[in-house]
Amino acid sequence: AFPSNTAILYWKDMGGNDDTAQQQQGREQEMLELAERINVACGDLSTSSCVKLCSQHMCCVEEDDEYSCKSDVTKDCPVYAGCVVLIDDE
């Protein structure tokens, strides 16, 4: 027979503990705050701040499928939606 705590250990491995939920909630809050900073920096035309926040994530707002990373969930692209103002519309 299995020890009585086997189910609890398995449940924790599956992400069922409070620490994991709190970490996820903390990450979501960080991403929300980053999105807000981007929207402020890029909305107020503080271009240098906008560029600094967006430079590594321009693939998120790239229209050309060859260079776009919009579908890559690891890039957190919705957070960087405000970076679209840096795209030249010529």
Task: Give the pLDDT confidence of 31-83 residue by residue, as tens digits.
Answer: 999 999 999 999 876 689 999 999 999 999 999 999 999 999 999 999 999 99
Q: What is the pLDDT of residue 61?
A: 94
The pLDDT, as a whole number, for residue 68 is 95
Q: How far is CA 35 from CA 12, 19, 29, 52, 74, in A?
A: 31, 24, 10, 13, 15
DSSP 86: G
Per-residue pLDDT, 87 = 87
Flag whether pLDDT at 13 surpasses 50. no
The predicted structure's pLDDT at residue 25 = 86
d(CA 67, CA 9): 43
